[in-house]
């Protein structure tokens, strides 16, 4: 799952307008932002195998710290508690925690049976939608564009930048998703993966920040 996570971030703005879009992006992508660092330190493992599924080339070998259900719950609780500790906003803290946890459940739809249930056990699950290109694109697109439409419906641009930045962000994310599905396999180098992924996420997060700064909640 890629753009589906961002779709949920967009949609969550309707529930908690006080949260910035970039905060919601970080919440739904938290474990994926942590994952490359654990790869670099050889704590978690992935292999690039062209054609491993019909939509991407990643064989996820070991990643229970970032992608097990147990740790999804733990990371969600930590994120929610940290936000509540700083802001004392219970509703926003709960939404942040749920956004972090949502990553596992959205991944469950598309991953093969490689998502761990616990930190130490061998039980792994996944519905395997990545082996069905059309269904993957349909489900991700519905989640993504549905969320983007909700965000566009509850916010209004303060200026022209607020309009074109939003649609730049939407188009960029969709193009990246198509590239992930139909483009060449990524670098097999872990450091290459780390640099390219983190650079891309930095661009996305900066765009989300800039977009939200140029839009306001409709009254």
pLDDT for 1 equals: 83
- CA 158 remoteness from chain centre: 27
Angle CA 3–93–96, to nearest 5: 10
* Extended beta strands in the chain, E state: 45-48, 58-62, 115-116, 124-125, 155-157, 215-217
The pTM for the full model equals 0.95
Q: State which residues of the chain have pLDDT below 50.
A: none
| Domain range summary for the chain, segments of one domain joined by + | 3-217
- Per-residue HEC secondary structure of 146-187 comes to HHHHHHHHHEEECCHHHHHHHHHHHHHHHHHHHHHHHCCCCC
pLDDT for 167 equals: 95
pLDDT for 140 equals: 97
């Amino acid at each position: 799952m890629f753009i589906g996570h961002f779709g949920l971030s967009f949609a969550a703005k309707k529930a908690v307008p006080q949260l910035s879009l970039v905060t919601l992006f970080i919440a739904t992508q938290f474990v994926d932002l942590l994952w490359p660092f654990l790869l670099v330190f050889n704590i978690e493992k992935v292999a690039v195998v062209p054609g491993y599924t019909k939509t991407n080339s990643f064989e996820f070998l070991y990643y229970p710290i970032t992608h097990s259900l147990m740790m999804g719950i733990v990371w969600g609780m930590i994120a929610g508690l940290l936000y509540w500790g700083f802001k004392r906003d219970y509703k926003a803290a709960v939404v942040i925690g749920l956004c972090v946890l949502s990553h596992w459940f959205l991944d469950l739809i598309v991953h093969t049976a490689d998502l761990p249930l616990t930190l130490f056990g061998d039980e792994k699950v996944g519905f395997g939608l990545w082996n069905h290109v059309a269904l993957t694109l349909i489900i991700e697109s519905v989640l993504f564009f549905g969320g983007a439409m909700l965000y566009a419906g509850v916010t209004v641009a303060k200026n022209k930048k607020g309009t074109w930045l939003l649609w730049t962000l939407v188009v960029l994310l969709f193009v990246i998703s198509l590239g992930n599905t139909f483009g060449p396999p990524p670098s097999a180098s872990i450091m290459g993966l780390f640099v390219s992924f983190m650079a891309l996420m930095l661009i996305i997060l900066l765009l989300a920040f800039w977009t939200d700064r140029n839009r306001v909640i409709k009254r």
